Amino acid sequence: MKRKLSFSVLLMGVLILVGSTAAYAATYLTYGYPSSTIPIKSYSYNDTWQVPMDASLSNWNNANAKVTFSKNSNSTNTITAAQFDYEDYGVNYVTYSGSEVTKFRIELNARKISADATDFSKFVQSVFVHELGHSIWLGDNPSTTSSSIMKYSRDRNTMTKPQTFDINNVKAKY
């Protein structure tokens, strides 16, 4: 009887842990871009935006995460920097079928980024690199003590690149 009770309590603890973890944090989304080469429609902004946006693609491409983001004028995957009313720094609207991303549209919210950035270039990279992560399986705010570009608590004025935790997670999917 005592043993049975202990097992029930243990089981309940495990269920609560799994349930609450899944509710607000996930290492992986249930979908990702099917190819390791990911096209993005070519974009053109003034240097204040263009330079950190280009650097964001390079930050992934040079991370040895097995993925390459490449600009392509015919791509339906888009990136837009503009003033948006919502409170997020960035959003990635992903369209997917089963586990495969078919299209994505990233927005960078100039209004929110400008308000909170002390290092504008780094802040843009931190947001863009994070949003690109959502196209290659990475979920928001993973439960880990490791450093991660996907964490809400990261310092966006200093963290511009995918971290070892992020790189390993992406490599495992490609």
Within the chain, residue ranges assigned H as helices are 2-24, 47-61, 110-116, 120-133, 164-171
| 8 versus 116: smaller Cβ distance to Zn ion | 116
Q: Is position 28 an interface residue for Zn ion (rule: CB under 5 A)?
A: no
> Least distance from C-beta 25 to Zn ion, angstroms?
11
Angle, nearest 10°, between helix axes 120-133 and 47-61?
A: 50
What are the helix and strand counts (H, E) for the chain?
5, 5
> Least distance from C-beta 143 to Zn ion, angstroms?
15
β-partners of residue 69 are 38
Q: Is position 140 an interface residue for Zn ion (rule: CB under 5 A)?
A: yes
Q: Residues touching Zn ion: how many (CB under 5 A)? A: 1
Which of the ranges 29-37, 93-101, 138-146, 165-173 carries the binding residues for Zn ion, by CB under 5 A? Answer: 138-146
Q: Which residue matches tokens 């490609």?
A: 174
Q: Is position 26 an interface residue for Zn ion (rule: CB under 5 A)?
A: no
Where on the chain is the footprint of Zn ion (CB under 5 A)?
A: 140
